[in-house]
Structure formats: structure tokens, C-alpha cells
Amino acid sequence: MIVDAVSWVLLTLGGFSVLIGGIGALRMPDLYTRMHAASVTDSLGTMLVLAGVILQAGFTLAAVKLAATLIFLLFTSPTAANALASAALMAGINPGLATPWRQEPRS
Amino acid sequence: MTVFIIIFLLTLLVITALAIVQTSNLFAAAMLAGIFSLISAMTFFLLDAADVALTEAAVGAGISTVLFLGALALTADHERAGTAGRLIALVVVTAIAAVLIYTTFDMPRLGDPNAPSQLHVAPWYLEKTPEYIDVPNVVTAVLASFRGYDTLGETFVVFTAGIGVLFLLGKAPVGQPKLSPAMTFAGKAGLRHYQIPRVVGRLLIPFILLFALYVQFHGDYGPGGGFQAGVIVAASIVLFALLEGEERALQALPAGLLKLLAAAGALLYGFTGVACMLLGGEFLNYSVLAHDPVHGQHYGILIIEAGVGFTVTGVLISIFHSFAARGAK
């Protein structure tokens, strides 16, 4: 019962972070900030959802497999985000927010 | 619920397909093709075709995307605008689409027990697999034993395709000095200056190989088998080549060894069939390989799956190296 409740809290939080990541990926001003938002979906969202599903599965083989997937994602998704960001930097995409990225006339 | 998810996935599939047609950036198109494969894999999985889903995810989303990128490194990354023959192409596509849509009206509904595919040999396979072969995964039994000829043909198709690509790309172009083996998008030294992907990649490669062995040898019990395992091994070697550079990957697995592996796998499959004949059975009838016919089937499936795995691994890594050896444009 408690396990079920915890699992649903984790699942809801996971879904919420995926939603936030999606909104961020659409609304953020430049590539790096968009990636920052999108990587929340990858890392935090997926992990919370997987943790919730593991609690739903209980002590079964499925839970072990899900845990292996979780550990795999724990390593790969931040690495992928890092690789993407450094590739963008190598390709010469300027982190726009360091300098004023959009010159708007001040009134 | 499943129906809703499938409809959602199919909608995404159509959107992805339209996006692939729409974009003129070939790099984006390659990525979208990977996404397309991944969504198809999910759909297959929801339709209970786990073996097909695994193959689609490994081949379509994994290794093909890498090969597309390898090909793009050799050419331009933007589609050249062409207008010639637009009208003819449109007419042909519309006609084919109309024919395809027309044929779907005659298709049986999903899961219809009276569909021809359910009435022909499928019930016999399902009924006789426990008796003749006794492996839990009927897909493996059908693929490796009942329809062993088809799979032999597929293995030779993979082998022939590999030879074809090596003939086209295996040698440096005439007149151009031989380039040092370097993937243009990885550079000569791989991703040496990218510390984090290197460390994580090196950490993961042993586990990817372990998973490939699991997929290879667990194919009798769960989804998997030689094709999927071969692709996963190839993916891990490609990852190694991207991280550490082509030269080190070729030191670990020399090109000659890879070609030998590709040929040896196909030959292993063929010779298993011949061995069955020499032992008094029909070609690819594994029952004669051991005293107990069912054990013979198990040995046979194990050996020919290993052959399939060898061939797929050898061919895919060779293709990757031949792309990479072409060097910068």
C-alpha cells in the first residue's frame, strides 16, 4: 500500500519532469538552454518513471531488468547530453546568453 | 489502452515520415530515419513481435544510422534541389499508393483467427515445436529449424551484400593518395579530446558485448538470436572505433579477420546442413546431430545461430571500416 503510493508519487514526479523538459525544449531561447531542459527529460524524468515502475514490479526478474536499464541510462543520457553540447561548441555555435543574444531596443 | 498507444505511435510514424520527406538536410533525415525505426520497433513490440522489435531497434535505429552518417561524411549533407521528373515521380507514387491502399481492404483484421497466416502452417509449428524441438521461443524454432533454408538464404544475402559494399568502397579511389584510416566525423584519433564520452564508452563496451552474448545464446528462450547479437557486437566495435580511433579498432579486429568471420559464419551454417546429410538426415535436419533428435535440434540451432552472428558481425564492421577508410571529402 505504502509502496504503491510511493511508486505513484515517483511516476507522477517523473511525468511532471518530462512535461517540464518538453516545455523547456520548446520555450528556451537558444540551443544550450534548450538542451539543458531536454536533458531533464532524459535523466531525471526517465529515472523517476523507471524507479516507480520498479516499485510496481516488486521483487521480480522484471524489476532487476528495469534496474539494469536505469543504471544504463544513469550513465548514458548525461553523457549523450554532454557529447551533444561539446559537439555544438566544436561546431562553433555560440552560447548566446553569454553575450546579449538578442539586441532589443530599450525603451 | 494498447490500441490508443498504437494509434499514437502510428500517428508519430506518419509525422516522422512526412518530416523525412520534407527536410532537405540529409543529416536531419538520417536522424529522423533512426527515430522512425525506433517508433516502428515500439509498435512491433506492442503487437507482441518482440524478436522483430529487437531487430528493428538494433538494425534500423542503431547500425543503419551510423552507416548513414558514415555515408554522409563522404558526401554533402544537403540534398541537391532537383526538379527533373517530378511529375512522373508523383504519378508513380500516387498509383502505387492507390494500389497499396486498395489491397489493405482485402487484408484480414489484426488478430483475426481466420486469417490465412493463422490457418496455413502456423498451427502446426505451434503444436509440434514442443515435440520436435522443445524450445520455449517458437520464433527461434521456426526461424532456425523449420524454415532453416530461408535463414540460410538470408545469411548468404547479408554475406553477399557485405561483399558488394566492400567491392565498391573497399579500395581507395584511383589517383587519390591512400588516406590514413580516419572517420571524418570522429577524426583520426577518435574522440580523444572528449573525455566524458570516452570514459563512459569504455565502461559500457564490455557490458554491451555481454548483452550481445546473452541475446545470442538466450535466443531459444526469449527474443533474440544471431542477427540481433551480431548487430549489437558490431555496434559496440563501432562505438570503440568512434571513441579510440579507427586504427586501434583495426588493431583489435583486423580487416582480414572480419572478412574471415563473415565467410566463416555463412560456411558454418552451410556445413551444418552438409553434416546433417553426412549423418544420414536431410539438409539442415538437425535431429541426426545427436542421439536424441530433440538434443540434435538444440545443437543445430545453437551452431547455425552462431554462424549467423559471425556473418552479421563481420559484414557490418567491415562495411563501417570501408566507409571510414574513404576519409575526408
Q: Could you tell me the three cell numbers for B2?
A: 494498447
The residue segments making up the domain with residue B68 are 1-81
Residue B262, H or E segment: helix B255-278
On whether residue A104 sits in a domain, the answer given is: no
Which of the given ranges, B62-76, B179-193, B303-317, has the highest pLDDT on average?
Answer: B303-317
Asked if the Cβ–Cβ distance from A76 to B200 is below 8 Å, we say: yes
Among B239, B187, B236, CA closest to B216: B236
pLDDT digits over B281-314, tens only?
A: 888 888 888 888 888 888 888 899 999 999 999 9
User: Do B15 and B139 sit in the same domain of this protein?
Assistant: no
B138 to chain A, closest Cα gap in Å: 21
On whether residue A14 sits in a domain, the answer given is: yes
Nearest Cα residue in chain B from A81: B197
User: Do B182 and B114 sit in the same domain of this protein?
Assistant: no
Asked if the Cβ–Cβ distance from A82 to B203 is below 8 Å, we say: no
Q: Which residues contact B192 (CB under 8 A, 6 or more apart)?
A: B198, B244, B245
pLDDT at position A8? 92
- pLDDT range class, residue B119, cuts 50, 70, 90: confident
DSSP string covering B201-241: HHHHHHHHHHHHHHHHHTTTTSS--HHHHHHHHHHHHHHHH
User: Do B283 and B199 sit in the same domain of this protein?
Assistant: yes
Is pLDDT of B73 > 70?
yes
B197 to chain A, closest Cα gap in Å: 6
pLDDT at position A41? 87
Q: How many domains does chain A have?
A: 1
Asked if the Cβ–Cβ distance from B194 to A76 is below 8 Å, we say: no
User: Do B116 and B144 sit in the same domain of this protein?
Assistant: no
CA B84 to chain centre: 34
Is pLDDT of B144 > 50?
yes
- pLDDT range class, residue A17, cuts 50, 70, 90: very high
pLDDT at position A11? 93
- pLDDT range class, residue B223, cuts 50, 70, 90: confident
Is pLDDT of B94 > 90?
yes
- pLDDT range class, residue B329, cuts 50, 70, 90: very low
Q: Could you tell me the three cell numbers for B38?
A: 525506433
Is pLDDT of A13 > 90?
yes
pLDDT at position A29? 84
CA atoms within 13 A on the CB side of B51: 18
Which of the given ranges, A14-18, B48-52, B143-147, has the highest pLDDT on average?
Answer: A14-18
- pLDDT range class, residue B178, cuts 50, 70, 90: very low
On whether residue A54 sits in a domain, the answer given is: yes
The residue segments making up the domain with residue A11 are 2-93
Q: Could you tell me the three cell numbers for B321?
A: 571500416
pLDDT at position A102? 53
Q: Which of A8-17, B58-67, B82-91 has the lowest mean pLDDT?
A: B82-91
Q: How many domains does chain B have?
A: 3
Residues of B (88-147) whose Cβ lies below 8 Å from A: none
- A-chain residues near B201 (CB < 8 A): 79
Residues of A (4-43) whose Cβ lies below 8 Å from B: none
Among B286, B322, B328, CA closest to B304: B286
Is pLDDT of B183 > 60?
no
Q: In this structure, are residues A47 and A70 in contact, taking their beta carbons and an 8 Å threshold?
A: yes
Among B298, B199, B313, B202, CA closest to B265: B313
User: Do B290 and B253 sit in the same domain of this protein?
Assistant: yes
| Partner residues linked to B187 by β-bridges | B183
Stretch B125-135: mean pLDDT, rounded?
83
On whether residue A99 sits in a domain, the answer given is: no
- B-chain residues near A76 (CB < 8 A): 200, 204
- pLDDT range class, residue B174, cuts 50, 70, 90: low
Which ipTM value was assigned to this complex?
0.77
pLDDT digits over B230-284, tens only?
A: 999 999 998 888 888 888 888 888 988 999 999 999 999 999 999 998 888 888 8
A6 to chain B, closest Cα gap in Å: 24
Q: For residue B242, what are the CA distances in angstroms to B35, B177, B252?
A: 21, 23, 14
How many A×B Cβ pairs under 8 Å?
A: 18
- pLDDT range class, residue B175, cuts 50, 70, 90: low
Of residues B315 and A94, the one with the higher pLDDT is B315
3-state SS string for B265-309? HHHHHHHHHHHHHHCCCCCCCHHHHCCCHHHHHHHHHHHHHHHHH
Q: Which among B197, B203, B204 is the nearest to A82, CB-wise? A: B197
Asked if the Cβ–Cβ distance from A82 to B196 is below 8 Å, we say: yes
- B-chain residues near A79 (CB < 8 A): 196-197, 200-201
Query: Torsions phi, psi of B134, nearest 5?
Result: 60, 50
Q: Examine the fold and report which residue of B95, B120, B145 is the final residue of a domain before the chain moves on.
A: B120
User: Do B57 and B161 sit in the same domain of this protein?
Assistant: no
> Which of B77, B200, B211, B218 to probe the A interface (max A CBs under 10 A)?
B200
Q: Examine the fold and report which residue of B32, B60, B81 is the final residue of a domain before the chain moves on.
A: B81
pLDDT mean across residues, chain B: 85
> What percentage of chain B reaches a pLDDT higher than 90?
36
Residues of A (56-75) whose Cβ lies below 8 Å from B: 72, 75
Is pLDDT of B180 > 50?
no
B196 to chain A, closest Cα gap in Å: 7
Q: For residue B152, what are the CA distances in angstroms to B12, B147, B248?
A: 35, 9, 33
B203 touches chain A (CB under 8 A): yes
